[in-house]
Structure 1
Amino acid sequence: MADIIQLLPDHVANQIAAGEVVQRPASVVKELLENAIDAEASTIKLIIKDAGKTLIQVIDNGKGMSNTDARLSFERHATSKIKCADDLFQLHTKGFRGEALASIAAIAHVELKTKQEEDEVGCALVIEGSDVISQEVVVTPKGTSVSVKNLFYNIPARRNFLKSNTVELRHVIDEFQRVALAHPNITFAFYNNGNETFNLPVSNYRQRIVNIFGNKTNEKLVPVEEDTEVLKISGFVGKPEFAKKSRGEQYFFVNNRFIKSAYLNHAISSAFDGLLKSGTHPSYFLNLTVNPQTIDINIHPTKTEIKFDDEHTLYALLRAAVKHSLGQFNIAPVLDFDRDASLDTPYNISQSATVSAPTIEVDRSFNPFQDETSSRPRSTTYKKEPAASWEGLYVGLESKGTQTQDDFSEVHFESEESELVIFKDHNALEQVHTTYQISNKYIVSAIKSGMLVIDQHRAHQRILYEDFLQNITVKDAVSQQLLFPLQLHFSPQEVAVIEQLKEDLEHTGFVFSNLVDETVEITGVPVGVPDSEVSIILEQLISDIENEVPDSNFSAADLLAKSMAKSLAIKTGQSLEKEEQEHLVNKLFACKEPNVSPSNRMTFITMSVDELDKKFI
């Protein structure tokens, strides 16, 4: 039998490795930025075109590379960071595997320009699909410039799996923010399609957070500081009242490396226990410094997951530190009663002043059955006019004779007679009570074949979704004007998302008067939307836009309708009147697709009489 196992060609092996390292343009951004930091750069510039699909360029003023190093840097497993296996547990740098540049060069067109400070000229290297096209001497400033063009040009299937530019750009910005937050001592600049998106000068950690997420973030931050032998914690957590429905602003950095850890995230959530509204998540920007020997960062290709030597101790320390900070800055639930300032004791009252007890005078001779006209002593200081005696009520009745009787016989009562009936006609009972609400969650209605059970939240989502989608399509939504304009504050990136969706939002009933930097001013909202819900709707919308995975045929109007329906739908636990229940049922079955919610979940189930009969067997 012939041998069937063979070695893979280098270009195929590189493409397979690239699948682990490079998943999307954001992966390239992360690797190149980390290389620039390891090169001890003080200024790093990121240039993006078409969300990284056309161009990703990182320019730094680091120490650069020699001609030999520039060539070797694109070989697999070539690195200057480690020399033996023990070095994996003494890592103080970002990259260490030696796979990043080789993987990127296997699936893109790469141009590298680099020069060391002591050299007069630098080196220019051009690689396409792992093949070195040219290596020349070039005049270039100190540092390194890496340009990655036409990502996945030789793997069309992988390129087709990329999402829309909006989604891919969101991932690129996320990676940029993670690296910039971890290194406030480095100047960062970010240019997207020729426009400056970020310009972050050297600053302290708090100012770096404010520069990235907007000026309004400053008032939301609570500092966290803790220093122990095992763990050093520094950074900030957000105040509970500014918690968001999304998990966007949650950052853990271990030894200046961004990580994801559901276990440590639970420690933060438990520290906020009792302070957050249901369905909201706290913001945090925390730096954890531990001994490199106590962690293993070589367990995931993207190095965003870390294995800790003693997670339980870190959990307890982190939770205690956050709770201490929240308590130290008086972030605690309070009972806020309306207080009457007039009841406060004045401070200028004399200590020697005597307070006299009030005197009470009682008229012991008062008799309610005594004729008011009779004279009796009064001890009160005011006089009261004597009321007519009870006999005066009947004066004049005798003179009218039988006419009075006739008048009283024609008196009609306004109140109708109430009749207590225990058993009513069955048909009449069905007409009065057609629906019932169970646990403020389900609406039950009788049908000919048995019983109908409707999930009120999902059903209302379907109704609102089709209404909003029709309004956006037909562009005839009705808007209610606000007496006072509503000013909302978002980060520059969130305002950019709203600006992209402005036209569709206006078709649903929103009226925007101003969109500048970090402020959104709204003068009109869709009919039926309360002012307090506007901020929640826009936050949910931004989160959905950033986290959804739309394809090339994706409709922004569809996602907008889904997001608004999800925010405004009747929530589970809300009690509904009979008329509201019946209206919800009627509107649901007037929809084009009443069976499922916008997220393709069942809105109702039916139980036949036979199924009910089986329950009683």
Structure 2
Amino acid sequence: MSSIIQLLPDHVANQIAAGEVVQRPASVVKELLENAVDANATDIKLIIKDAGKALVQVIDNGKGMNVTDARLCFERHATSKIRLAEDLFSLSTKGFRGEALASIAAIAHVEMKTKQDQDELGTQIVIEGSKFVSQEVAVLPRGTSFAVKNLFFNIPARRNFLKSDTVEYRHIIDEFQRVALAHPNIYFTFYHNGSEMFNLPPTSLRQRIVNVFAGKTNEKLVPVQEETDIIIIQGFVGKPEFAKKSRGEQFFFVNDRFIKSGYLHHAVMAAYDGVLKDGAQPSYFLYLTVPPNTIDINIHPTKTEIKFDDEHALYAILRASIKHSLGQFNVAPVLDFDRDANLDTPYSYKDMKGATPTIQVDRSFNPFSDDKVNKHYAAPSSYSRKTEATANWESLYVGLKQDTDFDTEGGEMSFESETVTASLFNDEEVEQSVNIAYQIHKKYIVSPIKSGMVIVDQQRAHQRVLYEQFLVNMTVQQASSQQLLFPLDLYFSTVEIELIAELKQSLINTGFVFEDTHGDHVVISGIPVNVTESEVSIVLEQLLSDLQDGIPSSSFSQNDTIAKSMARSLAVKTGTALSVKEQENLVNGLFACKDPNVSPFQKPTFITMRVEDIDKKFAL
């Protein structure tokens, strides 16, 4: 009987490993950038074409490799970072993944050029799908260049699972930002389809954050600094007034490695307790330094999750450090926030000494005397003046003329009477038209109908009304716009600017008018008629938050997403008091919709109660 278990060929094993290592072009960017950092490079260039599907190239000026190392680096489980098993628990580099380059070479066309400083010539290797095509000697500068072309060319199924260029490009930017923020001492440049997207010279940590996210990032940052025996914390947190709906600007770095930690994120949110609006997310850039032997970074394939030895202590220290920084820079509220400034001591009285008050005692005063008022008691002079001024108050009204046109002593006043005309409606119709809607707990609107009554959720109903209005405007492309006297100048990060530029035409169809969109800001000169000037930034932030996972490829799906997001932002919220007219308009607007039964998010907008159901309640 033949054997069932067989060893896989190397190229098949490499393709299987690539499924775990290389999920998308951003995975290749992460591996190559981290290898360049570990090579002690001071200048790293990232070149992308077609969101990484056509080309991902990383050029560095690191220490390079000799001929033997250049060939061995594409073998499985080949590394320069690990010698013993114990080294896995004391890593000071970006980590070890032995099948990374071998997996990339198995699913793409790879061209590597490398040269060490002491060598006169370098090595150029070309690999296509794990097959060595050529290895030549070449004249090269110091460092290494990896060019990965035609990703997943031999696995069409994996290539078909890639998202649109916009989504893949955003993932690449995320990986680039994480590495660039972790190493402010390295010069990073990023090119996409021939255009320079980032140019980050070596700077301080604060300036690197400002250069990456642009806009008015500098004025948002509050420094955090703490040093203990088990952890060193440094970095910056954002001021509460600049908090956004999205969680884009939240970064944890442990020993210069980006990580994700819901536990530490909860510590940050606990420090902001009481100073953030509901649903708001603060920005933070926190760099934690801990002994390498107290963490385990190999619990996740992407190495973005870390297990700490003493998580509870780190939680308490991080929370206290952020809370201290917010209070130190007067960001968090102080205890005497209701203090009256009028009670403060004037500066002119700063060096003056207080005068000793004088006390006057009437030694002849007898509380048991028969006299009601002690004549020997000497009142203060101010009191005497006050009583003299008000003693004869009746004299103030002597000689006042009675210039009145009517008799105040029982005379009758006549008013011009109004002629009552006949009513346009009979009394029954008037009773039915008055107070047809009532608001309960500033959340529900109750309106009578022929069979009973209808109870409408005001927030969901308004979402449905706005959603259908925006869809019609974007489809017909005839939305009304109100021009602003002073254009709005809004600042966003580089990624957000790219999203707004792609959504620009759809936003114009809803009523927005853009004067300029470039750099790190957007100039808006017109807004939809049902949007106020103060709501513009809220609407755009909510839209960017809803599109974090990518923009839909089809135009209908894109319009649908924008309409839902804007309806969510602009709909009247629970807890808002509405006038009777507003309640009636909302109910009438809801039942004029094509689908009034559910909100844009498929939740019921109203329920009905028949008179028979109410009668049954009273019959119990």
- Normalising by structure 1, what TM-score? 0.86
C-alpha displacement of 1:31: 0.8
Q: Is the 8 A contact 2:215 2:492 kept in 1?
A: no
Q: Is the 8 A contact 2:486 2:525 kept in 1?
A: yes
Q: Is the 8 A contact 2:215 2:521 kept in 1?
A: no
C-alpha displacement of 1:492: 3.4
Letter of the 1:347 partner, please give it.
Answer: S
C-alpha displacement of 1:244: 1.1
Letter of the 1:591 partner, please give it.
Answer: C
Letter of the 2:113 partner, please give it.
Answer: K
Q: Is the 8 A contact 1:163 1:549 kept in 2?
A: no
Once residues 161 and 103 of structure 2 are traced to their aligned partners in structure 1, the CA distance between those partners, rounded to angstroms, is: 18
C-alpha displacement of 1:415: 11
Letter of the 1:209 partner, please give it.
Answer: I
Distance 1:336 1:364, change over 3 A: same
Structure 1 range deviating more: 141-150 or 536-545 = 536-545
Q: 2:489 aligns with which of 465, 487, 490?
A: 487
- Counterpart for residue 93 of structure 2: 93
C-alpha displacement of 1:326: 1.1
Letter of the 1:498 partner, please give it.
Answer: I
- Counterpart for residue 163 of structure 2: 163
Once residues 161 and 431 of structure 2 are traced to their aligned partners in structure 1, the CA distance between those partners, rounded to angstroms, is: 58
Distance 1:343 1:176, change over 3 A: closer
- Counterpart for residue 542 of structure 1: 544
- Counterpart for residue 209 of structure 2: 209
| Pairing 1:363-442 to 2, within 5 Å after superposition | 364-365=391-392, 378=395, 385-388=399-402, 393=407, 412=417, 432-442=434-444
Once residues 403 and 78 of structure 2 are traced to their aligned partners in structure 1, the CA distance between those partners, rounded to angstroms, is: 115
Distance 1:321 1:341, change over 3 A: closer
**Could you report, residue by residue, the CA deviation over 1:586-605 in whole angstroms, capped at 9, with x for unpaired residues?**
22232233333333444345
Distance 1:366 1:453, change over 3 A: closer
| Pairing 1:497-536 to 2, within 5 Å after superposition | 497-536=499-538
Letter of the 1:477 partner, please give it.
Answer: A
- Counterpart for residue 76 of structure 1: 76
> Partner of 1:303: helix, strand, or coil?
coil
- Counterpart for residue 305 of structure 1: 305
**Could you report, residue by residue, the CA deviation over 1:305-361 in whole angstroms, capped at 9, with x for unpaired residues?**
111111111101111111111111122226777978799857279879999948434
C-alpha displacement of 1:227: 0.8
Once residues 175 and 389 of structure 1 are traced to their aligned partners in structure 2, the CA distance between those partners, rounded to angstroms, is: 86
- Counterpart for residue 105 of structure 1: 105
Q: Is the 8 A contact 1:472 1:507 kept in 2?
A: yes
Once residues 242 and 391 of structure 1 are traced to their aligned partners in structure 2, the CA distance between those partners, rounded to angstroms, is: 63
Once residues 277 and 564 of structure 2 are traced to their aligned partners in structure 1, the CA distance between those partners, rounded to angstroms, is: 23
Structure 1 range deviating more: 292-301 or 95-104 = 95-104
Structure 1 range deviating more: 298-307 or 432-441 = 432-441
C-alpha displacement of 1:295: 0.8
- Counterpart for residue 593 of structure 1: 595
Letter of the 2:401 partner, please give it.
Answer: A
Letter of the 1:572 partner, please give it.
Answer: T
Structure 1 range deviating more: 192-201 or 73-82 = 73-82
Distance 1:411 1:223, change over 3 A: closer
Q: Is the 8 A contact 2:166 2:550 kept in 1?
A: no
Letter of the 1:285 partner, please give it.
Answer: F
Identity over aligned pairs, percent? 64
Once residues 80 and 195 of structure 2 are traced to their aligned partners in structure 1, the CA distance between those partners, rounded to angstroms, is: 35
C-alpha displacement of 1:582: 3.0
When the two chains are superposed, the root-mean-square deviation of aligned CA atoms in Å is: 3.4
C-alpha displacement of 1:300: 0.7
**Could you report, residue by residue, the CA deviation over 1:426-474 in whole angstroms, capped at 9, with x for unpaired residues?**
9987654544444433444555666644433233222212211221222
Letter of the 2:533 partner, please give it.
Answer: D
Once residues 241 and 119 of structure 1 are traced to their aligned partners in structure 2, the CA distance between those partners, rounded to angstroms, is: 56
- Counterpart for residue 27 of structure 1: 27
> Partner of 1:224: helix, strand, or coil?
strand
> What residue ranges of structure 1 are gaps of 5+ in the alignment?
368-377, 398-404, 417-424
Q: Is the 8 A contact 1:78 1:99 kept in 2?
A: yes
- Counterpart for residue 374 of structure 1: none
Q: Is the 8 A contact 1:163 1:551 kept in 2?
A: no
Once residues 394 and 148 of structure 1 are traced to their aligned partners in structure 2, the CA distance between those partners, rounded to angstroms, is: 101
| Pairing 1:293-372 to 2, within 5 Å after superposition | 293-333=293-333, 345=346, 347=348, 357=382, 359-360=385-386, 361-362=388-389, 364-365=391-392
> Partner of 1:35: helix, strand, or coil?
helix
- Counterpart for residue 370 of structure 1: none
Distance 1:344 1:234, change over 3 A: closer
C-alpha displacement of 1:137: 1.6
> Partner of 1:546: helix, strand, or coil?
coil
- Counterpart for residue 198 of structure 2: 198
Distance 1:415 1:448, change over 3 A: closer
- Counterpart for residue 219 of structure 1: 219
> Partner of 1:57: helix, strand, or coil?
strand
Letter of the 1:573 partner, please give it.
Answer: G
Once residues 605 and 107 of structure 1 are traced to their aligned partners in structure 2, the CA distance between those partners, rounded to angstroms, is: 56
Corresponding pairs, count: 586
> Partner of 2:8: helix, strand, or coil?
coil
**Could you report, residue by residue, the CA deviation over 1:474-514 in whole angstroms, capped at 9, with x for unpaired residues?**
22211122232222222233233323333322222222233
Once residues 602 and 111 of structure 1 are traced to their aligned partners in structure 2, the CA distance between those partners, rounded to angstroms, is: 57
Structure 1 range deviating more: 118-127 or 288-297 = 118-127
- Counterpart for residue 246 of structure 1: 246
Letter of the 1:597 partner, please give it.
Answer: S
C-alpha displacement of 1:612: 7.1
**Could you report, residue by residue, the CA deviation over 1:62-91 in whole angstroms, capped at 9, with x for unpaired residues?**
111122222221222211211232111011
Q: 2:583 aligns with which of 545, 556, 581?
A: 581
Distance 1:188 1:444, change over 3 A: same
C-alpha displacement of 1:389: 8.9
Distance 1:290 1:351, change over 3 A: closer
Once residues 256 and 301 of structure 2 are traced to their aligned partners in structure 1, the CA distance between those partners, rounded to angstroms, is: 18
Letter of the 1:579 partner, please give it.
Answer: K
Q: Is the 8 A contact 2:215 2:491 kept in 1?
A: no
- Counterpart for residue 469 of structure 2: 467
Q: Is the 8 A contact 1:35 1:95 kept in 2?
A: no
- Counterpart for residue 61 of structure 2: 61
**Could you report, residue by residue, the CA deviation over 1:93-149 in whole angstroms, capped at 9, with x for unpaired residues?**
113121211221222211111111111111111122222222222221111111111
Once residues 567 and 156 of structure 1 are traced to their aligned partners in structure 2, the CA distance between those partners, rounded to angstroms, is: 41
Distance 1:144 1:166, change over 3 A: same
Q: Is the 8 A contact 2:327 2:333 kept in 1?
A: no
